[in-house]
Amino acid sequence: MSVVELENVSRWYGNVVAVNDISMTLQPGVTGLLGPNGAGKTTVLHMMAGFLSPSRGTVTIDGSPTWRNPGIYRQLGLVAEKEAVHGFLTARQFVVACAKMQKLPDPAAAATRALELVEMTSAQDRRIETFSKGMRQRTRVAAALVHEPQVLLLDEPFNGMDPRQRMHMMELLHKLGDEGHTILFSSHILEEVEQLSGLVQVIVAGRLAASGDYRRIRRLMTNRPHVFAVQSSDDRKLAVALIGEKSVNGVEIEAGGLTVRASDYGSFTRALPRIALGEGIRLRRLLPSDESLESVFSYLLEA
Amino acid sequence: MSTVAYITARGLFGRRRVLLLLPLPLLLVGLALICRAYDVDPNQWGQAVVVGLGLAVVLPVISLIVGTGVLGSEVDDGTIVHILTKPLPRRDIILAKLLVAAGVSAVASAVPLFVAGILADSVKFGLALAVAAAAGAVAYSALFLLLSLVTRRPVLLGLVYILVWEGLLGRWVSGTRVLSIEQYVITIADKIAPTGMLDGKVSLPVSLVMAVVFIIGGTLFAINRLGSFSVAGETS
């Protein structure tokens, strides 16, 4: 089990501040690094991977600094965004070479296992330059996993993958996360992050805008009304009763049920069953409708 | 280290730029053969072919192509990341690259110089040129390997060193010769097999010491630079 820690990390290029005073701790499991293009995601990943020195602050893995410390690569795997691979090697030669450079006791067996993990066994003896984008990506993931690192950093890992490969990669990352690996992947595609991980680190304009489970982050945004979709045995009667409740800001009656805007998540969810019971109404459906990562993300960007 | 050397060698011979290594040695040997075939007095063509082409052009240009190719092209296309994300001491990576660069440059320049030396004078002269060229190849490789890490235009800077520093300033400004690998090579070859064709302008001790300074200094500096290698220009 490894922990990646950023403490008051800033990085600037001349007068441009790319990353501004970020502190975060990555625990075992899968975490999504989210942010619009140009937010500083890649800079953060590069600092974690030891490819950039922080201008200020410290980046450590289990207490060891990542900058100028090649020893960390025993427990760290990186899949960079840039797709470059040694195209003149076959996938197997490439992964075996990576295993040898990791000084593994049985490089061939480790390469076989890693190639099986990413389902590249059937194409392993083809030169990488003949591969599609997705196959190259999987080969790079196999190379990053060959030494079974505790920490895996992936920069836009699903780029170029078809839906089936994407699903397989998500399952693989889930499995590794469940096994106790610390995995951080960056993405600007919200659906990917939503499917893969509840935990997010959101970076906006070089600053850490939010950190943690995105549903919990949403609930902490008390300045935004929470939107619920409610269906009941008598929607109109329920609407009348709800409008008298202090935590409810507004109710809309629609064809499929009610849309309720509540100022306080906890008070509303406690009050609703009480009100329904008092009015003799049967609740059929209650769904928070703006707890998707997309709405959390757009709220954070607007903030 | 051997895996890094293997990937480096495969990368070097897998790229088209390796074909650039062929014309210059062929030209050198070809010119020497033509002069010999037409029984031209070696005193008339020896210096121009062996020094003017062999030591001033073939050796440094081959070393430049190879020396910047072993690391610079990996830095350019980003494949260096796969080597750097391994728990290898940066010293081992640089030494492996230097070994491949120096080895390939030495063979590609020493062999044609050896043949040209035999055709111009004697086997001893050919051997002297080959030994000096091999030593020069190591020094040039260390320099050009370092250039790959300190500038984004190592080939351009290398050409400036070869053409302006050694070729132009080295002819007219005597002080610049102390920092000219070409001059060390000429001196070393001249001391092994003295002929009228070679005219060493730097003493042997200075040549040997400065060649070692280039090799060790360049290597140490390159190791240090690789240790703080940053992935630049990607700030998204």
Q: Are residues A243 and A172 in the same domain?
A: no
Please give the average per-residue pLDDT across B198-212, as a whole number. Answer: 93
More confident residue, B9 or A217: B9
Answer whether B78 touches A (CB < 8 Å). Answer: yes
Decide if A148 touches B, using CB distance below 8 A: no
User: For the purposes of burial, counting CB atoms within 10 Å of the CB of A14, is it exposed (0-12), middle (13-18) or buried (19 or more)?
Assistant: exposed
Last residue of a domain, one of A215, A233, A249: A215
pLDDT at B193 over 60: yes
Query: In terms of domains, do A137 and A180 share one?
Result: yes
Prediction ipTM score: 0.86
> A205 and A280 in one domain?
no
Are residues A126 and A229 part of one domain? Answer: no
What gap in Å lies between CA A198 and CA A219, rounded to an integer?
14
For residues A165 and A239, state if they share a domain. no
Question: At A50, is the pLDDT very low, low, confident or very high (cuts 50, 70, 90)?
Answer: very high
The structure's pTM equals 0.84
Give the nearest partner residue to A70 out of B10, B14, B88, using CB atoms: B88
Closest CA to B213 of B146, B164, B150, B160: B146
Neighbours of B174 (CB within 10 A): 11
pLDDT in tens, A208-239: 988 888 877 777 776 778 889 999 999 999 99
Q: How far apart are CA B93 and CA A124, in angstroms?
A: 26
CATH number at residue A83: 3.40.50.300
Banded model confidence at residue B236, pLDDT cuts 50, 70, 90: very low
Give the distance between the most distant pair of CA atoms in chain B.
66
| Range scoring the smallest mean pLDDT among A196-210, B204-218, B222-236 | B222-236
Contact B90 A70 (CB under 8 A): yes
Range of the domain at A271: 221-302
Contact A78, A61 (CB under 8 A): no
Question: Considering A176, A196, A215, which residue would you say is the last residue of a domain?
Answer: A215
Task: Indicate if A200 and A277 belong to the same structural domain.
Answer: no
Residue B179 host element (H or E):
none
Do A149 and A227 belong to one domain? no
Pairing of strands A207-213, A248-254: unpaired
Q: B84 to chain A: which residues are within 8 Å by CB? A: 51, 70
Confidence tier at A293 by pLDDT (50, 70, 90): confident
**Residue among A101, A129, A137, A145 with most chain B CBs within 10 A, to mutate:** A101
Domain boundary among A215, A243, A263: A215
- Computed over every residue of chain A, the mean pLDDT equals 89
C-beta separation of A78 from B85 below 8 A: yes
| Same domain for A162 and A256 | no
Q: A205 with A280, same domain?
A: no
Task: Give A68-117 pLDDT, tens digit per residue.
Answer: 999 999 999 999 887 788 888 999 999 999 999 999 999 999 999 999 99
List, for residues A136-151, the tens digit of each pLDDT value: 989 999 999 999 999 9
What CATH number is given to the structural domain containing A271? 3.30.70
Q: Do A53 and B230 lie within an 8 Å CB cutoff?
A: yes
Looking at residues B84-95, what average pLDDT do you find?
95
Q: Are residues A229 and A291 in the same domain?
A: yes
Give residue B234's pLDDT.
44
Domains of chain A: total: 2
Q: How far apart are CA A138 and CA A236, in angstroms?
A: 54
Q: How far apart are CA A194 and CA B140, in angstroms?
A: 54
Rg of chain B in Å (alpha carbons): 18
Please indicate, yes or no, whether residues A148 and A263 belong to a single structural domain of this protein.
no
**What pLDDT shows up at residue B1?**
66
Can you tell me the distance from the alpha carbon of B116 to that of B130, in angstroms, rounded to the nearest whole number?
Answer: 10
Q: Which of B111-120, B164-173, B226-235 has the lowest mean pLDDT?
A: B226-235
Does A44 share its domain with A184?
yes
Q: Is the pLDDT of residue A268 over 70?
A: yes
CB A84 within 8 A of CB B68: no
Q: What residues in A contact B227, CB-CB < 8 Å?
A: 68
**Chain A residue with minimum CA distance to B235:** A43
